[in-house]
Amino acid sequence: MQDLETRLKALIVEALMLEDVKPEEIESEAPLFVEGLGLDSIDALELAIAIDKEFGVRIKPDDERTREVFASVRSLAAFLHEELASARSVG
Amino acid sequence: MSADVSGDEASKAGRWRDEEERGNSLVLRITLGLAWLAGRRVTRALLFVVSFYYALFAGSARRATRDFLRRVGEPTGFWRVQRQLFRFSEVALDAVYFLKGETGRFEFSRDGHEHLEALVREGKGALLLGGHIGSFYAMRAASADFEIPVYPLVHTANAKRINALFRAIAPEMAERVIEIDEGDMRFMLRVRELVEQGALVALLADRVPESGHVAEVDFLGGKALLPTGPYLLASTLRCPVFFTAGIYRAPNRYELHCEPFAERVVLKRGARQEAAREYAARYAERLEHYARSAPDNWFNFFQFWVAK
């Protein structure tokens, strides 16, 4: 989980081209969107595409969990953890 | 203390919105009833009178329209302003007939329709950029002989209005409206899925959001603020973009235009804002072209230019 959070922070900075933010400066529980880092819906989409590429996990619009997924790095990591685990058990 | 005041004002604004919503739905029902029972000719005559009163009493709309007319070299007298408002109401009325699929009473000319047909044939998704010029709904008429999967992407306030209209006349269309909701990112993922599946997502790119990305561009001899969100979105989706306009030529003709705008929107790393501004400037140039070609189709009835 800790590892996922670290990878996510690096991915956020890389995919969203955040020039003045370092990955280690992003707090795991801080809100990512609107407040906090001040990201918007287009950033969310960019991030979703990057997550798809990096982890092979697709965040779906009709999934009820998706509403909360983008809240923070922690919630994203928890979601990814779940998805990766279920992918492993199926595979 | 200040929090109390702003809270109070917010709830007051909420009430106003409710009032407006009720008023709008009443006007909507009356207009729909008339459109069916009295027909287009009688309803147009009535709208002529309504726009006369509107031109008399809506000072800010009148001033904004005069500013626009001056910039395109049109007369700015009372009757010219009234005509602008009348055209707007006519286009709104015709939207009812378009949504019902009653296109027989209109004449259409098409320019660039082959682009849309090619997209549908190849199953390629795209963004369609429109503006508050002419009829947004005439696109619906364009799909009369060709099922074009158009999904409007709209801000919440407009979503309510459009949804009410769709639900009243074309309920199957209501499900296509995608509401921009910055509090729930799912709408954006839906946009991505739709475009991947070959849908055309349409948005109006001439009104700036309450918060978000904007750029100042040249427009009709002045400076105007335009959103850059559409170009950031197109760059993220990596899909082609088209400019569309449904120009109304009274009394019953619509010219449907579709122009390639960008095969891919590319925003260079490190210069994204400037690159997005250039796309907004290109959009402004196309909007200006149509505003000059059909000045009476300009339906932004508020101060569009940045005061100097």
pTM: 0.89
Neighbouring C-beta atoms of residue B77, cutoff 10 Å:
11
Query: B4-13, B34-43, B79-88, B234-243: which range is least confident on average?
Result: B4-13
Let me know if residue B307 belongs to a domain.
no
Question: Chain A partners of B274 at a C-beta cutoff of 8 Å?
Answer: none
Nearest CA to B118 out of B107, B126, B129, B110 is that of: B126
Q: With bands split at pLDDT 50, 70 and 90, how would you rate the model's confidence at B8?
A: very low
- Nearest residue in A to B269, CA atom: A17
Phi, psi of B174 (to 5 degrees): -60, -35
pLDDT score for A66: 87
Enclosing H/E stretch for B217? strand B214-219
Let me know if residue B145 belongs to a domain.
yes
> Pairing mode, if any, of strands B253-262 and B241-249?
antiparallel
pLDDT score for B191: 97
Contact call for residues B135 and B96 (beta carbons, < 8 A): no
> Could you tell me the maximum CA-CA distance found in chain A, to the nearest angstrom?
40
**Where does chain B show beta strands of DSSP type E?**
107-111, 126-130, 150-155, 178-180, 200-204, 214-219, 222-227, 241-249, 253-262
- Nearest residue in A to B184, CA atom: A67
Q: With bands split at pLDDT 50, 70 and 90, how would you rate the model's confidence at B171?
A: confident
Confirm or reject contact between B209 and chain A (CB < 8 A). no
State the total domains in chain B: 1
Q: Can you read off the two tokens belonging to residue B306?
A: 């940045």
Mean of pLDDT values over B51-56: 93
Let me know if residue B95 belongs to a domain.
yes
Percent of residues in chain B assigned helix, strand, coil, to nearest 5: 55, 20, 25
Let me know if residue B48 belongs to a domain.
yes
Question: Chain B partners of A61 at a C-beta cutoff of 8 Å?
Answer: 186-187, 189-190, 192-193
Domain carrying residue B161: 7-297
Let me know if residue B284 belongs to a domain.
yes
Let me know if residue B130 belongs to a domain.
yes
d(Cα B175, Cα B236) in Å, to the nearest integer?
24
* Strand, coil or helix: B150: strand
Nearest to A49 among B183, B236, B272 (CB): B236
Neighbouring C-beta atoms of residue B3, cutoff 10 Å:
7
Let me know if residue B277 belongs to a domain.
yes
Q: Can you read off the two tokens belonging to residue B165?
A: 């209209």
Q: With bands split at pLDDT 50, 70 and 90, how would you rate the model's confidence at A91?
A: low
CA distance B187 to chain A (A): 7
Question: Chain A partners of B192 at a C-beta cutoff of 8 Å?
Answer: 45, 48-49, 61
Q: With bands split at pLDDT 50, 70 and 90, how would you rate the model's confidence at B1?
A: very low
Question: Chain A partners of B186 at a C-beta cutoff of 8 Å?
Answer: 61-62, 66-67
Give B53's contacts (C-beta < 8 A, 6+ positions apart): none
Question: Chain B partners of A45 at a C-beta cutoff of 8 Å?
Answer: 185, 188-189, 191-192, 233, 236-237
Let me know if residue B306 belongs to a domain.
no
ipTM of this complex: 0.91
Nearest to B190 among A33, A49, A61 (CB): A61
pLDDT at position B129 over 80: yes
**Which of A42, A43, A70 is the best mutation test for B, with the most CBs of B within 10 A?**
A42
Cis status of the peptide bond prior to B251, with omega within 30 of 0: yes
Please write the tens of the pLDDT for every residue from B64-88. Answer: 999 999 999 999 999 999 999 999 9
